[in-house]
Structure 1
Amino acid sequence: MADITIDTSALSYTKFTIPGRGPEVLDGAAAPTLSLLPGTYSFVQSELGEPAFRFDVADGDVVTYDAESEAFLDGKGTRNLVVRGFPVVMQTSALSEDLGLRITGRPTLGRGSHDLRLTPGRYGFFLALGLSDLEFRLGADGQVTVPPAHAGYATGNGSTLEIRGYTVTLDFRQLSHDLRPELLGNDAVLSRATTHQLTLVPSPSYRFSLKLGYTDLVYRLTPDGQVTVPPAHAGYATGNGSTLEIRGYTVTLDFRQLSHDLRPELLGNDAVLSRATTHQLTLVPSPSYRFSLKLGYTDLVYRLTPDGQVTVPPAHAGYATGNGSTLEIRGYTVTLDFRQLSHDLRPELLGNDAVLSRATTHQLTLVPSPSYRFSLKLGYTDLVYRLTPDGQVTVPPAHAGYATGNGSTLEIRGYTVTLDFRQLSHDLRPELLGNDAVLSRATTHQLTLVPSPSYRFSLKLGYTDLVYRLTPDGQVTVPPAHAGYATGNGSTLEIRGNTITLDFHGQHHDLVPDLLGHQNVVLPHTQPHQLTLVAGSFLLRSKRDSLCDVHIAVRPDGSIQPA
């Protein structure tokens, strides 16, 4: 057995295989040593399987090869085989897509001019989807040749391969959405507002991507520059010479029974469609159409078939039907019961901003989705509940302590939180939907809340800096920056505030703090005063002149700044 080195470092692509030795891909960039038995071996780089050359390991443990290979190999009669290859210039500047060379390692060539060194053989190209029709040959004399059937768009001239491609016109102006051609190195979305021209290499495998998934249509560009469409797609698309016309099918959407609007997931069309009426969209067939909601997406993904029929997966037949070219979405009626809460809720729904009162239960007709939640006076609930395709409401296990899905009913019990701010010099108004009550500092208070990271209070002027969290397991937490004057302890929020001293004897006029529950208390300027305040902005009104009003900001660390 001979130890033979194979050096491919001069090549543009250094990986290769030696059939019969094993399936492994070898990299000759660092001239690896291979143990080879005497015999004949093939050196393969092209995916088309044709060897670039053959070499022999002779009885003297040296490499030999035929005279024809001497033009691109070195090392005959030694143990060191050097593969130099031939220079090839590949020009693809005219194309609208990159090309992948079907060679070991599958490199992609960007649009432009490329100086390569390749071994002799037959080569092809891969595209974003499938393969190009074009193959070229690099001969043992270093010359590039192209089959006559491809001479209309590609030329081999000496060591140069020029690929001009064919210019194809795309006309899909009748559609309600844009299209993204599936091209290597070109992710541009093409607008339906105008026709477009692309310069492509012939292939049987061109298609488009959508906002979700791909078109059913895969069209062909032939070696003579003609666009052809499979017969099954002739009802909505036509190849006419070098033009591809996509007319699509008009689909009627009927979701008038829902309590919310829908936004079809379409490239270049983010319009929200109202539930007040039916709608018509002109779409290209695809198995992957769905809708977005205020939060997330519908579970329903419907299909538009190549013959223009709307179909719905069997798992969704309980609330949606495809009937010819019409999609009817009836949804499921869900009952919301949050009567135990101290605040109202606003379901996060497209086209429906209604605040629902805690005084009664409510019914909403919704399309199944894993992503329904509520907004509060500030921010959103932690709870995101699911409506399943069979109409069941489910709640994540982490939220089971305060919310339950039972059939088509969502019950939200919330957690009871105790508020203790008796040390403050002012009252507080919790920022709650449907509950504007001012809570007195004279006593503690209990509120039943749904977990959220965004609870705060309003003051006479503006809001508190403090935003506290109620976690899904019922714990009150306070941000570290506010720990000096507020504490979350289990389900209790204690706000001690910061005591500040007001000394304004040099003002020669008295001040009246503008505080909730502390109206018309005059602070004489003749002596200092202490107030215990929560971090926020406050106004001290002058008894003499509004121009002498004092605005202050109490920071979380108790410092005072002009506001």
Structure 2
Amino acid sequence: MSFPIEIDVTKLLITRFKVSNAISSWWLTEQKNSINFEAGTYQVALSSNLVPPVEFEVLADGTVSYSEAFATILDGRGSNRLIVKGFPVTLDATALSGKSRLFDLINVHDAISAEIIQSINILPGSYQFRFHAKREFIIDFTVSAAGAVECLSNNATVSGNSIRFHGFPINIDARSLSYKNLIIPGITPDFINTEVMSAQPFQLLPGEYSVQYQSGFYADFRFQVTSAGTVTYKTDFDTFLKGRDTSMLILAGLAITIDARALTFKKLIVLAGIPDSQFISTDTMHEQPFHLLPGEYFVQYQSGPPADFSFHVTPSGTVTYKSDFDTFLKGRDTPELILAGLAITIDARALTFKKLIVLAGTPDFQFISTETMHEQPFQLLPGEYFAQYQSGSPADFTYRIIPNGTVSYDSDSENFLQGKGSAVLTIVGLKVMIHANRFPQGVLMVGQDQLWIKREELHLLPGLYLFQQGSGEPANFEVKLGKNGIFSYENRFDVKSDGFLRGSGSAELEILGYSLWIDVSGVQNVTVRLLPFGDGINAPLQLIPILPYQKMSLEIQTAAKPTAYFDVKQNGTLFLYEDYPFATLEQRDGVALIRLILDTFRTKRPCRPPVMEKL
């Protein structure tokens, strides 16, 4: 006859368990497991063979029993529920360096946080703490049948049932290095800051450690903390490390010179992944010295992605790189790296706007002038580039300089780029037409040359464009020109939706705007200006086209300069900011009208903004 017995091990810090002769597979700790048992003797076993199993009985009446030897770690005698509670042990690893350190109880439980002092329950037996590092360090301890804790390691101290891990004091001095904020993996985020005025103390357990830059790139060496509390490392590393057999590790680095003077762009090259952005300035009169750890390095322009190559600093203090990079690098097997770059010619003369294209990501703003009579040469590193107008809005395409000195780009850019597979990139642009005939002066494209557009054929790059009506701020909308040469914008802006634009889905854009009547007949012999455009209202009653804008104003040019502020929303709604005594909002033939009357004694009338009529 069998009896249901619940086995509760939830108080223990274990991952899994099984019961001999009853459970053949491992069960998870979190579960309260009810199992049918025949009367007999059983054992609760952990996955570690260093922890003896705990024996119990199921009696003929369907209750559990156990010997007095296990009475301190078991509960539930005389019931159908066996509770395995173990002994409480306190673990304290907070003295060790590293706020996110983890350790395991081998074959018992994984990833215990060292960030806080923890009280755990475990069974009598032998245990091994394994601290996470490149070479794992293990501390042995035991819990007796009476619950006494014993640990013989000189990296831990036992007091009662508490174990405190303290490691060894190790000082690391990185002040000689060029770059800041190095990391010892596993000790993150305790940085080795190279800017401090002294060596920095760490509490480290014996084991093997690596060093990396904050970006994630590892240096090509490791050092060890010995069981005597000193550091050691391979003799090959004597060229850049000091402090063997002491408690002080000095990261002296290797003297490496980098010469980037041949490149076109200035003060823009950094060793990629180094967050303090120390520049390799290309406009100095000489090479620049650095103290670097051995390892792999990447180069990038200040705001762009890394260039398509890397180089290595070897423990012997020389640089090396792939033979594919001989086209733009010099200095293999010497302590000097020369970034010679690749000769690339860029021709942007076909574009409409002049002196406005830059190689984006290079904040010294060297222009590709579109009005020169010839192509322009550059010395560039291989990698991805994108272009932009001077306004700062990047064009919607990228191109690559590849290590063999030619340019490449995606097939969807062939509508406006030429020169794939050669050393000459020709930016021909996309042929489009823009109409803005309703505006007396036309409109301006934000950030471009002062070209007033009324009906113009243009050669543009794909991307987002803003427009403005006269001088002042951009209007409150944008238009996208796709790589296929087609304009698009939000559907609600189209005249089919009572909007102010026409031409979505085509290469021809019409900017129509909304209509607004301005009546200044009540302001005699005084100039009225429409701001921010600065335009004067030249007739007593004037119909003007207007784009969506925020905080426009009509300013009466008297000494007091009374001003009425208003918005034209994207849906064409117009409203005044206040109930002005000198301005009213009305309608004329279904179109919004702002009437100005310079009579401070007249009675105010409430402002009820009507919706503007769309064109």
Do they superpose with TM above 0.5?
Answer: yes
Q: Which amino acid aligns with 1:412?
A: I
Which segment is superposed worse, 240-249 or 420-429? 420-429
Q: Letter of the aligned partner of 1:335 in structure 2?
A: T
Q: Aligned pair in 2 of structure 1 residues 183, 202: CA closer, same or farther (>3 Å)?
A: same
Q: 1:50 to 1:327 in 2, by over 3 A?
A: farther
Q: 1:422 to 1:326 in 2, by over 3 A?
A: same
What is the rounded CA distance, in whole Å, between the counterparts of 1:69 and 1:15 in structure 2? 20
Q: Tell me what 2:202 maps to.
A: 198
2:531, 2:537 → 1: CA distance?
Answer: 9
2:383–2:400 contact (8 Å) kept in structure 1: yes
User: Are 2:257 and 1:214 aligned?
Assistant: no
Question: Is the aligned partner of 1:506 residue 2:529?
Answer: no
> How far has the Cα of 1:176 moved from its partner?
0.6
2:599 aligns to what?
A: none
1:487-523 deviation line (CA, Å, top 9, x unaligned) = 3331111111111001122212354767999988831
User: What residue in structure 1 maps to residue 605 of structure 2?
Assistant: none
**Cα distance in 2 for residues equivalent to 1:295 and 1:482:** 34
Amino acid paired to 2:225:
L
1:112-150: per-residue Cα shift (whole Å, max 9, x none)?
A: 421111233221222243422423233333222223xx2
Deviates most, 542-551 or 104-113: 542-551
**TM-score with structure 2 setting the length:** 0.78
Corresponding position of 2:304? 295
Partner AA of 1:460 in structure 2: S
Q: Does 1:385 align with 2:399?
A: yes
* One-letter amino acid of the structure 2 residue matched with residue 276 of structure 1: D
- Structure-1 separation of matches of 2:362 and 2:181: 25
1:340 pairs with one of 331, 337, 350: 350
1:101 to 83, 100, 104: 104
Secondary structure at the counterpart of residue 234 of structure 1: helix
List runs of 5+ in structure 2 lacking aligned partners.
579-615
Select 2:255's aligned residue among 244, 250, 265. 250
Structure 2: distance between partners of 1:460 and 1:307: 62
Q: Secondary structure at the match of 1:136?
A: strand
**Equivalent residue, structure 1, for 2:240:** 236
Structure-2 separation of matches of 1:436 and 1:57: 94
Cα shift at 1:183? 5.0
Shift of 1:237: 0.9
**Residue 134 of structure 2 aligns with which residue?**
129
Deviations 1:252-304 (A, max 9, x none): 11122211230123545312221123211111112344434432111222211
What amino acid sits opposite 1:122 in the alignment?
Y
- How far did residue 465 of structure 1 move? 3.1
The residue identity in structure 2 corresponding to 1:509 is: N
How far has the Cα of 1:196 moved from its partner? 0.8
Contact 1:427 1:516 in 2 (8 A): no
RMSD, aligned CA: 3.8
- In structure 2, distance between residues paired with 1:313 and 1:35: 67
Distance 2:446 2:415 in 1: 24
2:53 paired residue number:
53
Contact kept, 8 Å, 1:460 with 1:514, in 2: the verdict is no
Distance 1:553 1:546, change over 3 A: farther
- 2:278 is aligned, of 271, 275, 282, to 271
Q: Deviations over 1:455-502 (max 9, x none)?
A: 424613443333321112211123456441113331111111111001
Instruction: Say whether 1:314 aligns with 2:323.
Output: yes
Unaligned runs of 5+ in 1: none
Sequence identity of aligned pairs in percent?
18
- Whether the 8 Å contact between 1:513 and 1:522 is mirrored in structure 2 is no
- Structure 2 equivalent of residue 116 of structure 1: 120
Q: CA deviation at 1:74?
A: 5.5
Matched, 1:464 2:489: no
Compute the displacement of 1:167 (Å).
Answer: 1.5
| Matching residue of 1:533 | 546
> What is the identity, as a one-letter code, of the residue corresponding to 2:524?
H
Match among 448, 459, 462 for residue 451 of structure 1? 462
Structure 1 residues 315 and 340, CA gap change in structure 2 (3 angstroms): same
User: Does the Cα contact within 8 Å between 2:260 and 2:338 map onto a contact in 1?
Assistant: yes
Instruction: State the match for 2:293 in structure 1.
Output: 284
Instruction: Pick which of 470-479 and 206-215 moved more.
Output: 206-215
CA contact (8 A) 2:182 2:192 kept: yes
Report the residue type matching 1:141 in the other structure: A
Letter of the aligned partner of 1:356 in structure 2? I
Distance change (3 Å), C-alpha of 1:480 and 1:378 = farther
Q: Distance in 1 between matches of 2:299 and 2:18?
A: 46
Counterparts in 2 of 1:461 and 1:545: CA distance versus 1, 3 Å? farther
Which has the larger displacement, 107-116 or 202-211? 202-211
Alpha-carbon contact 2:555-2:561 (below 8 Å) kept = no
Give 1:347's aligned amino acid: L
Residue pair 2:51, 2:123 contacting (<8 A) in 1 also: no
Is the Cα contact below 8 Å between 1:393 and 1:407 reproduced in 2? yes
| CA apart distance, 1:453 | 1.2
Aligned residue pairs total 551
| Deviation, structure 1 residue 381 | 0.7
Aligned match of 1:399: 413
* Residue equivalent to 2:335: 325
Pairing partner for 2:314 from 301, 305, 312: 305
CA contact (8 A) 1:498 1:558 kept: no
What is the match of residue 174 of structure 1? 176
Q: Which residue of 2 aligns with 1:423?
A: 438
Q: How does 1:357-376 map to 2 (within 5 A)?
A: 357-359=369-371, 360-376=374-390
Evaluate the alpha carbon distance shift between residue 517 and residue 42 of structure 1 in structure 2; reply closer, same or farther with a 3 A threshold: closer
**2:502 maps to which residue?**
487
SS in 2 for 1:398: helix
Please state whether the residue corresponding to 1:473 is helix, strand or coil. coil
Structure ranking higher in strand proportion: 2
Indicate the residue corresponding to 2:488 in structure 1. 477
- Within 1, Cα distance between the matches of 2:360 and 2:512? 35
Task: For residue 142 of structure 1, give the secondary structure of its aligned residue in structure 2.
Answer: coil
Q: Secondary structure at the match of 1:317?
A: helix
CA deviations over 1:24-66 (Å, ceiling 9, x no partner): 76312213367999999783345xx534436599999999999
Say if 1:63 and 1:76, in contact at 8 Å, map to a contact too.
Answer: yes
- CA shift for structure 1 position 232: 2.3
SS state of the match for residue 316, structure 1? helix
SS across alignment from 1:29: coil
The question of 1:225 aligning with 2:229 is answered: yes
